[in-house]
Amino acid sequence: LPTIRDIAKRAGVSVGTVSNYLNNPELLADNTRREIQQAIEALGYFPSAAARSLKSRSTSRIGMVPLISPEDNRSMEPSDITFLDFLSAVNTTAAENGFALLLSTAISETDELPMYKRMVGERQIDGLILTGVRSHDPRVDFLLGQEFPFVAYGRTRSAEHPYVDVDGADGMRQAVDHLVALGHERIAYISPPPGLMCNEQRWEGFAAAMQSHSLPIDPNLVVDGDFLERTGQIAMHLFLDLPQPPTAVIASNDICAFGILTALQKRGLVGGRDVSVVGFDDSRMAARWTPSLTTVAQPFREIGFLVTKMLIEMIGGEPQDTQRVLKPRLIERESTSALKGP
Amino acid sequence: LPTIRDIAKRAGVSVGTVSNYLNNPELLADNTRREIQQAIEALGYFPSAAARSLKSRSTSRIGMVPLISPEDNRSMEPSDITFLDFLSAVNTTAAENGFALLLSTAISETDELPMYKRMVGERQIDGLILTGVRSHDPRVDFLLGQEFPFVAYGRTRSAEHPYVDVDGADGMRQAVDHLVALGHERIAYISPPPGLMCNEQRWEGFAAAMQSHSLPIDPNLVVDGDFLERTGQIAMHLFLDLPQPPTAVIASNDICAFGILTALQKRGLVGGRDVSVVGFDDSRMAARWTPSLTTVAQPFREIGFLVTKMLIEMIGGEPQDTQRVLKPRLIERESTSALKGP
DNA sequence: GTGAAAGCGCTAACAC
DNA sequence: GTGTTAGCGCTTTCAC
């Protein structure tokens, strides 16, 4: 592969001039610029990323360390299509700004932080995107301590940091209001994974909304979830075995809601008619499911875009508002309906 | 951030010795090793990836350039959950072997090849993984020309190269055999995106299987697809408007099959009872759909694992078999059933 | 406008 | 076993 020296030689100039062509082309005479341009094309030259970043101390890469399980039975990270929507928005936005996306994986939760430390320590990247934020998140503490640029999808309770978040409390309020308007009072709740910040936000929203309608929260109708379908199924079966089952269920995400609907079906019940079900995310399948799913929509692509744009601006040293909260939106479909009289 | 010099100084040795610690620790005296070890931990040292790869000409990164559309209305690339399964297997396998995964995106098909050229030219990566292989694929030609290590998921017709592939022809044969065994003769076919190699393989399998049962192929029952749900819907509506509609349909993937099932439902028909439908992939939703989907399963996680393992072995210069074909497996579910008499 | 030269943080060859 | 040193391919002063 050709180096900057080959170009310099072929164009009859010095390496410094070629470097200028690469970084400050406006400094060059039209003439020289053309020569160099031709040499570069003739030889198919690209500047070495390693040499460039060794000198310039920047990589044009941003990083992400999703905690994806080999077995798909792990919590804390969306392993469904919503994550791909987010990821592809991040990747596209990064690419459009000349950045590539460096992905790694923590095999277990134990070596998650070490993975981040390594990526930062090795100077593999100029900035990081965080997902699956916990209410107290050691990654946030570490990155703040290093003054390393990052933007989180979601926020921590324990520190101030740049983020893009969806107002989960408001989403829950919309869900509860909707169900209450339909006449429901015994509303069950399956939470996101405990530990995640969004779990706390959603719960606050749920509890506040129930209270605002003067509805009690029955502890039997509240279950810790993990974003998995199986858990939705199991929880729904438990609910149905209760002396007084719920008439509506709010799930932590659409996948979990699908599990709930499946459980209903297995018991000969019809989701949306016998029991109302509300999901969260508005993933692609929500509209196509039978019954179609009422759900709180998160704009994943927009979040991915905003997170990445914000991060790249931070890396570029541009000042900006560093915290954004987006409103989710309830989308009413067939899986919820008016409570039938007793 | 500390450099190798800081470590050398603190441990009272030379940089060469620290470098040996990093790359050939067995050469060092136990004693020295301990000193260096301590210095590294005390300072939180990581070797600079840029400096390292400038010198060593390797990056410990592998690359991928998925062609993901911002709008999800593009063909040639799976933008569904099956791609995430593949991607996460790749990422995990890479991480387990000390490699990170560098992702970029071609915004349009036009700048796909330039993206590859850039990644290779800038020496950003040690090897590449290709997806969405075309029957004649310029990326393959380019990489072979550069003698750059790569493994493709799928194979080209135009050149010999390392790949992991699924025997799509065999998958089609299984699908056709299954439908014929159920009594179907008018079998419709919605193809993968034209241009993709898998399109040709599947078609060959389909045509051969039909012929082996002495069944004619009605051109009205063959439609070019693009992996999208909408296309499945549209095609099914077209089929139903035919004077003599098909009794069974084979789709290019599960997403497309879901579109077919939705179209049937909209026309008051029941998938699996009135018309049999076979998908391809066995994506996560296939088993949970109503009706559950008969489909040809592709082992995406295994493919991701194999592709990555193969690539990393190639990078390491280890000899191995460089071409693997996996057999897909038909999974029978509710969406196919015996043809009812007229 | 352009060239010369130092140096980014490592590795590897060679000397001791 | 350990130290010294050249150099990987760039960027960036600083002369001219």
| CA atoms of B75 and A141, how far apart (whole Å) | 42
Instruction: Identify the band that residue B75 occupies on the pLDDT scale cut at 50, 70 and 90.
Output: very low
What's the half-sphere exposure (Cβ side, CA atoms, 13 Å) at A114?
Answer: 8
- The answer to whether residue B73 scores a pLDDT higher than 80 is no
Q: What average pLDDT score do residues B248-258 get?
A: 97
CA-based max dimension of chain A: 91
How is residue B141 written in tokens? Answer: 């030609």
What HEC string does chain A produce?
A: CCCHHHHHHHHCCCHHHHHHHHHCHHHCCHHHHHHHHHHHHHHCCCCCHHHHHHHHCCCCEEEECCCCCCCCCCCCCCCCHHHHHHHHHHHHHHHHCCCEEEECCCCCCCCHHHHHHHHHHCCCCCEEEECCCECCCHHHHHHHHHCCCEEEECCCCCCCCCEEEECHHHHHHHHHHHHHHCCCCCEEEECCCCCEHHHHHHHHHHHHHHHHCCCCCCHHHEECCCCCHHHHHHHHHHHHCCCCCCCEEECCCHHHHHHHHHHHHHCCCCECCCEEEEEEECCCCCCCCCCCCEEEECCHHHHHHHHHHHHHHHHCCCCCCCEEEECCEEECCCCCCCCCCC
| CA atoms of A331 and A328, how far apart (whole Å) | 10
CA distance A201 to chain B (A): 28
| CA atoms of B100 and A98, how far apart (whole Å) | 19
Smallest CA–C1' distance to D5, residue: B16
Smallest CA–C1' distance to C1, residue: A28
Separation in Å: C8 C1' and A54 CA: 5
Nucleotide in closest CA–C1' contact with A14: C3
- The answer to whether residue A242 scores a pLDDT higher than 80 is yes
Strand D bases near protein CB (under 7 Å) are 1-5, 7-13
Q: Which of residues 50-109 of A touch strand C (CB under 7 A)?
A: 51, 54-55
Instruction: Identify the band that residue A75 occupies on the pLDDT scale cut at 50, 70 and 90.
Output: very low
B291 cis-preceded (ω within 30 degrees of 0): yes
How is residue B288 written in tokens? Answer: 């949970």
| CA atoms of A69 and A58, how far apart (whole Å) | 31
Query: In this structure, what DSSP letter does residue B134 have?
Result: B
Q: What average pLDDT score do residues A257-285 get?
A: 96
How is residue A65 written in tokens? Answer: 């360390």
Q: What average pLDDT score do residues B274-300 get?
A: 96
pLDDT of residue A80: 83
Strand C bases near protein CB (under 7 Å) are 1-5, 7-13
Where is B140: in which H helix or E strand?
A: helix B138-146
How is residue A10 written in tokens? Answer: 């072929």
Find out whether B133 and B294 touch, Cβ atoms under 8 Å: no
pLDDT of residue A76: 47
pLDDT of residue A342: 64
Find out whether B116 and B138 touch, Cβ atoms under 8 Å: no
Beta bridge partners of A236: none
pLDDT of residue A9: 95
B29 three-state secondary structure: coil
pLDDT in tens, A160-192: 999 999 999 999 999 999 999 999 999 999 999
Q: What average pLDDT score do residues B171-190 get?
A: 98
Closest by CA to B302, choosing from B155, B140, B165, is B165
Output the CA torsion sign for A225, A227, A233, A236. Answer: positive
- Does the CB of B69 fall within 7 Å of any strand C atom? no
Closest by CA to B296, choosing from B250, B263, B258, is B250
Backbone angles phi, psi at A145, to 5 degrees: -60, -35
| CA atoms of B339 and B342, how far apart (whole Å) | 9
pLDDT of residue A147: 96
pLDDT of residue B274: 97
Size of interface A-B (CB pairs under 8 A): 141
Q: How far is CA B40 from CA A115, A148, B5, B34, in A?
A: 16, 20, 11, 10
Q: Is A176 exposed, middle or buried (0-12, 13-18, 19+ CB in 10 A)?
A: buried
Closest by CA to B90, choosing from B63, B120, B56, is B63
- Does the CB of B55 fall within 7 Å of any strand D atom? yes
Q: Which of residues 4-33 of A touch strand C (CB under 7 A)?
A: 12-17, 20, 27-29, 31-32
**CA angle, B60 then B300 then B233, to 5°:** 130
pLDDT of residue B74: 47
- The answer to whether residue B197 scores a pLDDT higher than 70 is yes
| CA atoms of A229 and A190, how far apart (whole Å) | 11
pLDDT in tens, A95-142: 999 999 999 998 778 889 999 999 999 999 999 999 999 999 999 999
Find out whether A244 and A219 touch, Cβ atoms under 8 Å: no
Q: What average pLDDT score do residues B106-114 get?
A: 87
pLDDT of residue A32: 95
How is residue B84 written in tokens? Answer: 């995430």
Average pLDDT of chain A is 94
Where is B20: in which H helix or E strand?
A: helix B15-23
Q: Which residue on chain B is closest to A285 by alpha carbon? A: B285
pLDDT of residue B319: 76
| CA atoms of B270 and B336, how far apart (whole Å) | 11
- Does the CB of A255 fall within 7 Å of any strand D atom? no
pLDDT of residue B71: 52
- Closest partner residue to A122 (CB to CB) among B46, B96, B103 is B46
> Count of H helices and E strands in chain B?
12, 12
- Closest partner residue to B84 (CB to CB) among A47, A84, A258 is A84
How is residue A120 written in tokens? Answer: 């930062």
| CA atoms of A198 and B142, how far apart (whole Å) | 46
User: Would you tell me how many other CB atoms lie within 10 Å of the CB of residue B248?
Assistant: 27
Range in A79-83, A295-299, B2-6, B303-307 with the lowest mean pLDDT? A79-83
pLDDT of residue A77: 58
What HEC string does B270-300 produce?
A: CECCCEEEEEEECCCCCCCCCCCCEEEECCH
Range in A76-85, B148-157, B171-180, B296-305 with the lowest mean pLDDT? A76-85
CA distance A27 to chain B (A): 24
Find out whether A333 and A293 touch, Cβ atoms under 8 Å: yes
pTM for the predicted model, two decimal places: 0.96
Length of chain B: 342
What's the half-sphere exposure (Cβ side, CA atoms, 13 Å) at A172?
Answer: 26
Chain-centre distance of CA B335, in angstroms? 26
Across the interface, do B258 and A288 touch by the CB < 8 Å criterion? yes
Instruction: Identify the band that residue A69 occupies on the pLDDT scale cut at 50, 70 and 90.
Output: low
